[in-house]
Chains A and B, each alone.
Chain A
């Protein structure tokens, strides 16, 4: 999902770091190599420019792929998906441009530095080699020690953080009941609690960053002071001392940057964790519902418990029952949008889960209870009319499913629904969720759910 091609541009970086330190030590030590230093720095800028250019392209490609993935299996919560595809996906940019390259450099550069130091000054190389692993080790220790505590705190934080949006979204309701002003103190109190909780979580979370920073600076002190003292005794030449001084921090620099980028890309990693697994389902060709028997075999899902029903080809069935009993769920099962937790739905002896969904949907006509697939300006009654017109277009369909609307119908629309339904169910298998008695006269059998 994530495009990583830009990481290739980083290959020269460890070599350039070594060359730059070498030349800088030479120039500052009073030696030659100024023009070569200029050249190396020029190349370093160029490499960095190419890398960033590629990185932004990689981030763009990643955003495109993520957006497509989210749109392709869009889940159930429109608000959440809309936020993800518009703004959320943008959060992967710091991950691709910032964190990934630093993660590569955090391995490659220290490796190059330690190897070079080993040839220059073994004591310095060993100091860096011993202190470097302290960072991940301490980080892991701090993390393990505080994981449970922080997990609890973050859960509390998520609730508190969502509170402001919830209250703002409900401002209309609060005003209607004259409660808006009274909530003003609650908003501040909860934000204050959010602050306290966050700070106590951060005090722990930043400990690992503290360790990282401390180890990095202390190791510079641990390298610089002894090398300076040995230089005083004439134990090492100036060039080596300067090289050690300039190289030691370079070993820690990408690690620190990776740590910082890890925090900055937290939201991006969260977004990546939400990428849905593509459901590449192709099933067998469905039987023609006009000639196949439909069987609900001991189905349990949502509010339906152990529901069994046999529908003969050409039979017209009305489902009745109180709201929430699972009538719409039965239609969802027939459409394949709802999967049974237990039991099976068989069409002509074939489990509906095994059937190619697109082909199955082709062979039926469906009018949902609350049609949404029309421009938003239409009122609900008008939407119902449009949905019916769409269903009427599908005269070839062998199975007709109607979820009769419970409300929102004026007399004109209602009589239209009735007329259309009568027309649609004539001579084919039909399952109707009926709320009004008028349609019951049109069916062969009434099933109470």
Chain B
């Protein structure tokens, strides 16, 4: 980062120096001195012109390298922090965390670095001017006050964005239903209203015209004070660097904190193969999640169903990195997974069908072969015949203890116990077979 600042400052100083030297050269020539008096200035003008281009190129490379290098470290740290948290944040919070990392790095490159460079160049020019008052005052305003005013108190647009995200998700996910029921136009109008409100509030504070006024106001004052022309031109060039700072925007980081899960249900005893059944919304999934959190990872693997954008093989191997091809094939046979091992599944598994995705996730659990097998609706999306067959094969293979949330009564014969989660707290444990 220091190298980027140094190179950037030198590049800008070369530019300012070029303007100053060229002006000095012309005004000195007007006094008709001998040619030798101009030689140094002529060489300096040519050298500075070349140096500016080369330094600028180097500055862009070093600054990007510095920020990308920081990205390596920052991403690593953010990831490590996530592996240590007690609860895994929701998908939305995770996306926000990634967005915030990207924005932080982008701000470094586009805001922090140019600001430091401008301040350093300003300081050098001020020193060269012998602390010309209009120059000092103007630079303080342009490099200090205006950027501060421009970024001050960014509005928190998160609630509005969240509302629009929700409305958009509905328009996309339920588009067909909305059209089928004639509701699409109304919902679209509502979302467009939110979008309009958001667009209106996004207007940043752009103080560029003010910065230009300061730039030339200071130059005029310096002219009126009979400062040398080369200094006035150098001042205008130095101010030019500060003008973009007046439109600085800094996006507010999106809140990524959320409350952890509150109520922890009574956890059932783990013995034999247990089916959990009950009406929709009676907290079966919550129960399974709580159980998964309590167990060591090696003991009970609940497949949170993320499918990574990589090959089927890599997705399944997660569960047991050292597994042989034989073990993989055996697991796939149990779950009837019929995908090419080297197929890339696409972002969030978009290239494969819902049923295939479900069997892929199930294959992972089979390969992991945990002490306690936890499955949440493992056969959803499979046709009934296959669903029952696959579940039976998976249960036959497991190490004796399994907890499975299911809706299919046909499958209950596969279990030792059935646990009903009733809607109002009452819970029956039945025995099958």
Contact = CB atoms under 8 A, between A and B. Distances in A.
Contacts of B308: 166-167, 170, 173
Contacts of A165: 95, 98
Interface stretch (A108-116, A218-226, A276-284): A218-226
B261 interface: no
B381 interface: yes
B161 to A, nearest CB: 4
Contact of B381 (A72, A206, A407): A407
Interface string A410-428: 1111000000000000000
B64 interface: yes
A362 B278 CA distance: 36
B259 interface: no
B197 to A, nearest CB: 10
B142 to A, nearest CB: 13
Contact of A224 (B45, B61, B75, B176): B45
Contacts of A357: 179
A213 B56 contact: yes
Q: How large is the interface on A (under 10, 10 to 19, 20 to 34, 35 or more residues)?
A: 35 or more
Contact of A381 (B73, B232, B281): B281
Most chain B CB within 10 A, of A38, A175, A207, A382, is at A175
Contacts of B69: 195
A64 B199 contact: yes
B380 A176 contact: no
Interface stretch (A43-51, A304-312, A342-350): A43-51
A2 interface: no
Contact of B377 (A56, A71, A195, A407): A407
A171 B85 CA distance: 11
Interface in B300-341: 301-306, 308-309, 318-319, 321
Interface string A7-50: 00000000000000000000111000010011001001110110
Q: How large is the interface on B (under 10, 10 to 19, 20 to 34, 35 or more residues)?
A: 35 or more
B298 A86 contact: no
B72 A188 contact: yes
Interface in B361-410: 364, 368, 377, 379-384, 386-387, 407-409
B30 interface: yes
Interface stretch (A73-81, A288-296, A440-448): A73-81
A187 B76 CA distance: 6
Contact of A191 (B29, B75, B82, B408): B75
B202 A90 contact: yes
Contacts of B45: 220-221, 224-225
B271 interface: no
A53 B100 CA distance: 29
B213 A67 contact: no
A64 B200 CA distance: 8
B294 interface: no
Contact of B32 (A45, A217, A234, A368): A234
B428 interface: no
B72 A192 contact: yes
A202 B224 contact: no
B192 interface: yes
Contact of B76 (A182, A191, A202, A322): A191
A60 B29 contact: no
A269 interface: no
A91 to B, nearest CB: 11
Contact of A411 (B170, B301, B409): B409
A75 B48 CA distance: 53
B132 interface: no
Q: Is the interface of B mostly helix, strand, loop or mixed?
A: helix
B32 A373 contact: no
A87 interface: yes
A67 B199 contact: yes
Contact of A37 (B65, B192, B220): B220
Contacts of A72: 188
Nearest to B88: A172
A11 B260 CA distance: 58
Interface stretch (A139-147, A148-156, A238-246): A238-246
Contact of A182 (B60, B173, B321, B354): B321
A194 B68 contact: yes
A187 B75 contact: yes
B287 interface: no
Contacts of A5: none
B177 A229 contact: no
B68 A195 contact: yes
Contact of A408 (B19, B200, B355, B407): B407
A410 B280 contact: yes
A324 interface: yes
Given A183-B79, A220-B49, A34 B223 contact: yes
A176 B297 contact: yes
Interface string A327-342: 0000010010100000
B384 A435 contact: yes
Contacts of A381: 279-281
B263 interface: no
A220 to B, nearest CB: 6
Contacts of A168: 78-79, 82, 94, 97-98
Nearest to A192: B72
Most chain A CB within 10 A, of B18, B22, B99, B308, is at B22
A137 interface: no
A407 B38 contact: no
B301 A60 contact: no
Contacts of B41: 228
A203 to B, nearest CB: 6
Nearest to A361: B180
Contacts of B128: none
B178 interface: yes
B169 A199 contact: no
A187 B79 contact: yes
A358 B182 contact: yes
B386 to A, nearest CB: 7
B88 A60 contact: no
A447 to B, nearest CB: 15
Interface in B1-53: 15, 18-19, 22-23, 25-30, 32-33, 35, 38, 41-42, 45-46, 48-50, 52-53
B368 A67 contact: no
Interface string B137-164: 0000000000000000000000001001
Given A45-B209, A217-B15, A407-B407, A435 B305 contact: no
Interface string B343-355: 0000100100111
Nearest to A172: B304
Given A52-B209, A184-B76, A214 B50 contact: yes
A231 B98 contact: no
Contact of B188 (A71, A181, A217, A322): A71
A169 B364 CA distance: 17
13 contacts: A41-B216, A56-B206, A67-B199, A71-B195, A81-B168, A168-B98, A176-B302, A188-B72, A228-B22, A323-B381, A335-B176, A406-B384, A412-B279
Interface of B: 15, 18-19, 22-23, 25-30, 32-33, 35, 38, 41-42, 45-46, 48-50, 52-54, 56-57, 60-61, 64-65, 68-69, 71-73, 75-76, 78-80, 82-83, 88, 91, 94-95, 97-99, 101, 110, 161, 164-165, 168-183, 188, 191-192, 195-196, 198-200, 202-204, 206, 208-209, 212-213, 216-217, 220, 223-224, 229, 232, 277-281, 292, 297-298, 301-306, 308-309, 318-319, 321, 347, 350, 353-356, 364, 368, 377, 379-384, 386-387, 407-409
Q: Which 9 A-B pairs rank lowest in CB-CB distance, beginning with the nearest?
A: A381-B280, A214-B53, A379-B280, A178-B297, A67-B195, A170-B306, A379-B281, A49-B209, A172-B304
